[in-house]
Amino acid sequence: MKKGKLIIGIVFLLLGVALVATPLTIERMHAKEVNALEKAFATIEAGDQPETGGSQERKWSEEELAETMKLEIPSIELEQYVLNQTTADNLAIALTQIKADQDPAKDNFSIAGHRGYRGDRFFRQLPEVKPGAEIKLQDKDATYIYEVNNVEIVEPDDIAILENGDNPKITLVTCTLSGKQRVAVTGELTEIVPKS
């Protein structure tokens, strides 16, 4: 009887260790990919070529980096990269464009991001954004400045928030804490600052 309880206790202990270690291991792998992305950007900014192929960590091509944008929301101290394609791998390391071929100067530029369960990565603080806040989206040509005009909770199948309207705008989307609905932050384009 004691031997059976000991075995059950050991099994539960090992299960607990696995449950704690798994998300930490996944987060560590994602952090390595984020670091690789940041390193590639630093290399490009220094005028050098990014590494390609080789080690297990993902390498970024100049083409991928040229299509990557940067999103800034000063009111919540957010500064994140925006990859041009929404895939599970991309969402694990950065924010992503929801629709292909979006033009921030003309369209409803929509961005998705995980809420993140630790730290301030991704869109963890997005629900704290208030109307009137400033959003900056930077690409290789310009910085697009938006003013937040709406923060709302929507259903996951509400695609109307992604449709283009008469004026260019930005829509940022993440899950609610329960994961059953979405937080949608929208802002109107107020200024385009070309890169010098």
**Same-domain status, 116 and 20:** no
In this predicted model, what pLDDT tens digit does every residue of 13-39 receive, in sequence order? Answer: 777 666 665 655 555 555 555 555 555
The residue from 68, 69, 82, 114 that is catalytic is 114
d(CA 77, CA 134): 11
What is the DSSP secondary-structure string of 56-74? SS----HHHHHH-EEEEEG
For the chain, count helices (H), then strands (E): 3, 8
Residue 30 catalytic? Answer: no
Mean pLDDT value across residues 142-147: 96
The residue from 175, 176, 181, 188 that is catalytic is 175
**Same-domain status, 13 and 73:** no
- Specify the pTM: 0.73
Q: Which residues pair with 70 in a beta bridge?
A: 81, 138
**CATH code (residue 95):** 2.40.260.10
Residue 175 catalytic? Answer: yes
Burial (CB count <10 Å: 0-12, 13-18, 19+), residue 32? middle
On the question of pLDDT at 168 being above 90, the answer is: yes
Q: Is residue 58 part of a domain?
A: no
**Same-domain status, 126 and 188:** yes
Look at 136 and 52; give whichever has higher pLDDT: 136
The pLDDT value recorded for residue 17 is 65
Q: Quote the strand ranges of the chain, DSSP E.
A: 69-73, 78-83, 95-97, 108-112, 134-138, 142-154, 169-175, 182-194
What domain range is 26 assigned to? 1-48
